[in-house]
Structure 1
Amino acid sequence: MILDRPFVSAALLVLTTPSLAQQLPPSVTQPAVARPRPTPIGIPIDPQVAALRDKALTDDTAYAIVEGLTTEIGPRPPGSTQQARAREWAVARLKKMGFRNVRIEPYALDNIWERGVETAEVVSPYPQPLRLAALGNSAATPAEGLTLPIAYFASFNDLALAPAGSLKGKIAFVSNQMQPTQDGSSYGSAGAARFVGPNVAAKKGAEAIVIRSIGTDHGRGPHAGGTNFAAGVTPIPAAALSVSDAENLERMMKLGGTVTLHLVLTPRNVGTRQSGNVVAEVPGSDPAAGIVLIGGHLDSWDLGTGAIDDASGIAITTAAAKLVMAAGRPRRTIRVVWFGDEETGGWGGLAYARRHAGERHAVASESDFGADRVWRVETNLPPSASAVSDRLATALAPLGIVRGAGTAGDGTDIAPVIRTGVAGIDLNQSGLRYFDWHHTPEDTLERIDPEQLRQNVAAWTTMLAIVANAPEEIGSAARKP
């Protein structure tokens, strides 16, 4: 999921800057949602673009990709044999679809983490089992587990305010609640409990930490996800309780008295393995015009089958590229990348940027926020290409997409390329349902709404048809205000 890496980096400031100990930095709190800009008027829509857009609304190529990947491969944890199988599956599928220059670009993935046994039960005063999942990079408990009293914190901020050393001999429990938002901004404010909560708890002496899953559901499926420990901080066992079990544990705490938890986590690090990005192209007619980089990430967490995170993203972008390819040769080369290992830190995006540092990219864009409707488009094109943004906003309006006023360039996988000054385009999907299933056992094909998936493909097809064929010079981002 695209938000993890930026929020982790920003949230780590809480750990190192005393003045921020009582609040999260601006980049972690919910950003203000910019008002939509009016759709341009008097801008003609190319009939070929409109025809491709409308054709995409009846195209089920994306659904077939998600169905195939989740059925034939299933979950694709970074560094796993399933992920290696997925790369081979992707190469065969992309070649069959007619893409050119299809290949795997390998790189080494270090410090691969694998989950093991994970159990929790309240020992007293209300004995019962709880459902949870170890967080990525969690340490292991002793083989026999830990049996310790719980120190309860209603929010991450409360944990941050706890006195140094106050958690010795205890298991910290953070139960902040995440609210659904269309733009997904609440993932940043609530997510700090997972991103850096274990690090904070470890520094304050906790033996372990459990958090309420970072999700907007109320079910018993825990939400997986990574956490990070700062240099010099010894990792502690860390896990996410299902939202329902966290709410139950919170009720126990509010009854008063000491609640004791028995926790067993046995994850391990298995060293270095080979990973890779899968790359495919629609060759353009003008090599000097630059590359349009699009894609999503092939890896997934292991609890579900990775349908919304992110089989749908690679399916949407690939299906759109295929439709544009079938309509004729575009001016710019469209490069579709199925990135590896986004969930563990965006290593696929970094490997891609290093390998292709000498190439000219015109635009970079990724899809990694599920498969619900695209509701907003934002661009960061140079002034020389402002007309491209206008044409794009006009052609997307019939799909119910508004033009935002923010600066485009979101996405963990494209971030290293964007940082070199490449222009970005964001097609923002609705996040109102996304965090019900994000990183859970429920991230399966059944979460995909075929009609909304087709609307995504139509939006991406429209974008590619306009941007890949635009006569204007594109190759650097607009200057930020």
Structure 2
Amino acid sequence: MNSLKPLLLSLLLSPLLSQANPKPLNEQLAYQLTESLTTEVGPRLAGSPGDRASVAWATKNLQALGFDKVWTEEFVTPYWQRGQARLEILSPYPQSLVLTALGGSVGTPANGIDASIVMFDSLEALIAAKPEQVKDKIVFINKAMTKDKSGSQYGKVVGARAKGAVEAARLGAKALIIRSVGTSSNRFAHTGKMTYDPAVPKIPAVAISVPDAQQLARVLTKAPEAKIKLQLDTQQTEDAVSHNVIGEITGSERPDEIVLIGAHLDSWDQGTGALDDGAGVGLVMATAALIKQQGQPKRTIRVVLYGNEEGGLVGARAYAAKHAKELDKHVLASESDFGAGRIWQFSTKFGPKSLPFAAEIQRELTPLQIQPGNNDAFGGPDVSVLKALGVPVVSLEQDGSDYFDYHHTPNDTLDKIDPAALQQNLQAWIRMTSKVANSTIDFRK
């Protein structure tokens, strides 16, 4: 934090725009904040010491950036920890495979699980299987993910990660292995949240890297009788306390009307959470701070840095519950949580009478090579909780062509961010947020 302090102080003490000597905005601020978070805090698994350090980092830096109000809101969250993991083919071709535990998975007995393998090409194929195909075996779901700009392919494969263990256990399996939900050919395994059903036995669940999934599939083609051994040491400790961190730039004319821009502060523990979601944190913090440098907005801009998005939108649900009585005053919400690629499309979720204003925002964004989208915006994972409660949302949609090469892996690090692309993001966020915060539009209409 100390390395960032001189930068923030100089930013605050120097007038960024004046009649006599206009100065440009610090378009590096989002990158500098992201660098600080990922270097000085690093991984931020919910409930961990890194999580607590990130809350302290965010609070101090929001204050240093000149936010009018800064506070935290406590919530209780599960605290899961991965331990040692090992996966090896015992026969007929002994070798180790690269794996990672899925978030929330139980461990194996101390001596591991030895079993034969049954492979399926999708979750649906597993669900359609008969118990005698699966009982006492380790299930392997080998479903590939393809790249695309919008990330739309993610939803077609993530079900295996989320629900695979339940469906495998329902049929009597001993454990679940999935091909990583990712698009990289590097030998990194992708983690992510999985779930259990209280009515179904809990079995261990892991992901293996894409090359290892291909290797295991080849082994099974040659030797369907192959045996494998899984050892997994994970811990689910007592619930921990975490926090959402919130900063406000108070509106000069309509302070009770809130324009919420958010990101999630937590990350998985394998990398440093630069793309997911350090870049988003840096962007929304910088956006509000730099708008204030240009003059106080008419509406309040509220930056919400959500806790434990990765564990199932835990902080987002806590925020919605705590602020339920003022959600009608949330005029708009949006979130940056899809890496740091250039924004290529702008979408809204507005009432029909507000669509002409959406076109006004679009005109501000067109010079940044951002094209019009649709009126069915997602808004972002945490913000989707507010959307479901009637809050209008927008999406500044990033190019995610290579996002799932790094998503939830040890490779999610700062060097994957292009500073020029992040600058373009920042310009777009400033233009959109400033336009909305200085308007009188009711986007519900």
Task: Show the counterpart of 1:99.
Answer: 67
Instruction: Name the SS of the counterpart of 1:91 in structure 2.
Output: helix
Q: C-alpha distance in 1, partners of 2:374/2:388?
A: 20
For each residue in 1:9-40, what CA deviation from the matched residue of structure 2 results, as whole angstroms up to 9, or x when unmatched? xxxxxxxxxxxxxxxxxxxxxxxxxxxxxxxx
1:377 maps to 2:346: yes
Q: C-alpha distance in 1, partners of 2:427/2:254?
A: 26
Kindly state the Cα deviation for residue 199 of structure 1 after the two structures are TM-superposed: 1.2
Task: Show the counterpart of 1:244.
Answer: 211
Q: C-alpha distance in 2, partners of 1:141/1:240?
A: 15
Kindly state the Cα deviation for residue 321 of structure 1 after the two structures are TM-superposed: 1.2
Equivalent residues of 1:388, 1:467 under 8 A apart = no
Paired AA for residue 70 in structure 1: T
Instruction: Name the SS of the counterpart of 1:104 in structure 2.
Output: strand
Aligned residues: 422
1:125 maps to 2:101: no
Q: C-alpha distance in 1, partners of 2:340/2:103?
A: 25
The residue correspondences of 1:75-86 to structure 2 (distance < 5 A) are: 75-86=43-54
Paired AA for residue 370 in structure 2: I
Kindly state the Cα deviation for residue 138 of structure 1 after the two structures are TM-superposed: 1.1
Q: Which has the higher contact order (CA 8 A, sep 6+)?
A: 1
1:60 maps to 2:28: yes
Task: Show the counterpart of 1:23.
Answer: none
- Given the alignment, which residue of 374, 387, 392 partners 1:418? 387
* Most deviating of 83-92 and 464-473: 464-473
Structure 1 or 2: more strand by fraction: 2
Kindly state the Cα deviation for residue 465 of structure 1 after the two structures are TM-superposed: 1.3
Equivalent residues of 2:72, 2:243 under 8 A apart = yes
Instruction: Name the SS of the counterpart of 1:325 in structure 2.
Output: helix
1:138 maps to 2:105: yes
1:72 maps to 2:40: yes
Stretches of structure 1 that go unaligned for 5 or more consecutive residues are 1-47, 49-53
Q: C-alpha distance in 2, partners of 1:419/1:196?
A: 23
Instruction: Name the SS of the counterpart of 2:331 in structure 1.
Output: strand
Q: C-alpha distance in 2, partners of 1:417/1:175?
A: 35
For each residue in 1:365-414, what CA deviation from the matched residue of structure 2 results, as whole angstroms up to 9, or x when unmatched? 00100000111101122334333201111110111111112412432211
Task: Show the counterpart of 2:194.
Answer: 227
Equivalent residues of 2:255, 2:298 under 8 A apart = no
* Most deviating of 206-215 and 415-424: 415-424
Task: Show the counterpart of 1:338.
Answer: 305
Q: C-alpha distance in 2, partners of 1:200/1:457?
A: 43
Paired AA for residue 80 in structure 1: S
Task: Show the counterpart of 1:427.
Answer: 396
TM-score scaled to structure 1, two decimals? 0.85
Q: C-alpha distance in 2, partners of 1:65/1:326?
A: 17
- Given the alignment, which residue of 303, 324, 347 partners 1:357? 324
Q: C-alpha distance in 2, partners of 1:145/1:423?
A: 49
Q: C-alpha distance in 2, partners of 1:81/1:256?
A: 45
Q: C-alpha distance in 2, partners of 1:324/1:387?
A: 23
Q: C-alpha distance in 2, partners of 1:62/1:439?
A: 21
Q: C-alpha distance in 1, partners of 2:441/2:382?
A: 26
Task: Show the counterpart of 1:30.
Answer: none
Give RMSD over aligned pairs: 1.5
The residue correspondences of 1:224-303 to structure 2 (distance < 5 A) are: 224-287=191-254, 290-303=257-270
Task: Show the counterpart of 2:284.
Answer: 317
Q: C-alpha distance in 2, partners of 1:235/1:397?
A: 50
Q: C-alpha distance in 2, partners of 1:395/1:263?
A: 54
Equivalent residues of 1:78, 1:299 under 8 A apart = yes
Q: How much identity, in percent, do the aligned residues show?
A: 41
Stretches of structure 2 that go unaligned for 5 or more consecutive residues are 1-16, 18-22
